[in-house]
Amino acid sequence: MKILILNGPNINLTGLREKSVYGANTYEDLVAEIQQAADELEAEVRFVQSNHEGALIDAIQQAYFDGLDGIVFNPGGYTHTSVALHDAIASVPLPTIEVHMSNVHAREEFRHKSVTASACRGQIVGFGFYGYIMALRALIEA
């Protein structure tokens, strides 16, 4: 299987920002952990991170046109605001799993609502980097 690992705004600063929420491990550590899991699962992964909404939409559409099999997506702050990302996910017939490192439901109230989740197959929150591995496994095994 070929899976897009798509990360939105500020995920590239993981390890630098809000360590009490996101931990001290870096974005590069995240990529390495996912790659290791993908290798063990005999899956191919493609990584895209952008702070720009349009670039994330482009990546979702490109995943479809490139024949990928699914998407693991952390929309970051766009989770709570982006109808355009919701529509992009809904527009392509690729199973998408929304992932958040923190438990967004235990944080500020504005984080409790995901605009994008209803277009996704499922949502995994609160397990740190392991949430990505859970989502990868779900796409491959479910």
Q: Which of the residues are catalytic?
A: 22, 100
What Cα–Cα distance (Å) separates residue 124 from each residue in 72, 100, 106, 128?
A: 10, 6, 14, 10
> In what side-by-side order are the strands of the sheet with 70-74?
44-49, 2-7, 70-74, 96-100, 122-125
Which uninterrupted H or E stretch holds 34?
Answer: helix 27-40
Residue 129 to residue 127: CA distance in whole angstroms: 6
What Cα–Cα distance (Å) separates residue 10 from each residue in 1, 18, 41, 52, 76?
A: 27, 11, 28, 10, 7
Residue 111 to residue 48: CA distance in whole angstroms: 23
